[in-house]
Amino acid sequence: MRNKILLVNPWIHDFAAYDFWSKPFGLLSIAAILRKNGFDVSFIDCLNPFYPQMLGVDKPKRKSFGGGKYFKEEIEKPEALKNFKRRFSRYGITPQVFINKLLAVEKPELILVTSMMTYWYTGVSETITTIRNTLPGVPIVLGGNYATLLREHALNNSGADIVISGMGEDVLPALFNDIFGEKIDCFPDSDNLDSFPYPAFDLLSRLDQVPIMTSRGCPYRCSYCASHILNSDFRIRDPIKVVDEINFWHRSFNVTNFSFYDDALLVNAEERAIPMLWEIIRRKIDCSFHCPNGLHIRGINEEVSTLMFHAGFKILRFGLETSHASRQKETGGKVTNKETSEAVRHLTRAGYRGDEIGMYLLCGLPYQTFEEVRDSIAFVKSLGARPVITEFSPIPGTDIWDDAVECSSFPITDEPLFHNNTLIPCRWEGLTYDMYGELKKLARAKSGS
């Protein structure tokens, strides 16, 4: 066995956080590669409510499909958020449970920490400080979305010894060579996703659901989205090998719920989604599949809808974002209203109820008006589908960033905490916080009310 590596999924600090099929996909992909190379890998999940040590604290409610509430503890708000009148919490295990877990693993020679939202960085730095105080002297490497999108900020604020931006698979060989002076020989070819080992989800203490990725990146470039920064290009897997993976988790670990994390699951469906769906049906894999990340509406036709229905696709979310044609065009042109109404028609004919067809609608884009979101809600309802409001979070490096900086009354360039979607960072007189509250009510209200 080679060096001991500890991987840590950090705490979340936020006003609200909900486990909507969340798993540390990237970190566990790296774990799988390290294990393949003979490293002794252990894992601590700061978000895991199921550690036996968490017994005795109030159990958060979980959903049968996998997901649900995290355990949370109210903490003091960071200075920047003091004026925002909502409680702020640390989501995940208690600090004492984390410290006990850190002391229980055999002393690692390297610790890898992941990160997700830019505005969760205080949770990352609290995690790293706790590690540092408990296991002094062990080098800590930070990677993930925050480390990629805000490298300088992470270097100055996370407390990590090394900050790695970009896909871990690409940088690990050089990193391990620098730290241990050792070569990693067994390495996937980053242009060939089928050469990657399955992520080490078995390290999770409860496999309530497994996320699947059939591709990385996206061929579109919407102005509000960071996909092109986080992924160098659009790469796809062999659809039959994807089904092999689903079958593996189902047969070996009895997993019956799967979530797709793809940015572009339905792009080029003829060659990807359609063969995958046929294969799931042919092999009679009796599982439920969920799509929490917005699907491309344009990818839906009669065949895809029917196959999805029969293959067991249950929770569907589509990225409509707005029904205003000019904004659809300006932001990247991934969908039109006509395509949306056709897609809903196909899905309904295939057997889906309207409330099962969730349409994400962005709320709080720079200079977006109350009326635009209200019209979008009305449009989705008129099709018999379900509007799902997603509060816009501005992301550095995206094409819309400069507009966001101009529109926002918060200093979003200096302080990533202001990227938090709960704040509606780009609210302005045309879409105030109160108006947002009204829109949420409108979206929830039954049609006709």
By CB under 6 A, name the binding residues for ligand SF4: 218, 220-222, 225, 227, 263-264, 294, 319, 332, 334
What is the nearest approach in angstroms of ligand B12 to the Cβ of residue 230?
Answer: 4
What is the nearest approach in angstroms of ligand B12 to the Cβ of residue 31?
Answer: 10
Tokens of 209: 């659901």
- Residue 209, contacted partner among ligand B12, ligand SF4, none, CB below 5-8 A by kind: none
3-class SS of residue 57? strand
- Residue 308, contacted partner among ligand B12, ligand SF4, none, CB below 5-8 A by kind: none
Distance CA 127, CA 416 (A): 17
- Residue 102 or 264 with smaller CB distance to ligand SF4: 264
Question: Where does this chain bind ligand B12 (CB under 6 A)?
Answer: 17, 20, 22-23, 25-27, 29-30, 112, 114, 116-119, 141, 143-145, 148, 164, 167-169, 171, 225-227, 230-231, 261, 263, 292-293, 390-391, 393, 395, 419, 421
Buried b or exposed e, range 189-216, using 16+ CB within 10 angstroms: eeeebeebeebbbbbbeebbbbbbbbbb
3-class SS of residue 91? strand
- Residue 22 or 256 with smaller CB distance to ligand SF4: 22
- Side-chain-side CA neighbours of 159 within 13 Å: the count stands at 18
- Residue 78 or 333 with smaller CB distance to ligand SF4: 333
Contact indicator for 161, 140 with CB cutoff of 8 Å = yes
Consecutive H or E run containing 273: helix 273-282
- Residue 342 or 403 with smaller CB distance to ligand B12: 403
- Residue 114 or 306 with smaller CB distance to ligand B12: 114
What is the nearest approach in angstroms of ligand SF4 to the Cβ of residue 216?
Answer: 11
- Residue 153 or 324 with smaller CB distance to ligand B12: 153
Q: How would you classify residue 166: left for phi > 0, otherwise alpha for psi between -120 and 50, otherwise beta?
A: left
- Residue 278, contacted partner among ligand B12, ligand SF4, none, CB below 5-8 A by kind: none
Indicate the DSSP class of residue 446.
P
- Residue 117, contacted partner among ligand B12, ligand SF4, none, CB below 5-8 A by kind: ligand B12
Contact indicator for 65, 28 with CB cutoff of 8 Å = no
Which residues fall within 8 angstroms of residue 309, CB to CB, at 6 or more apart?
347, 350, 351, 352
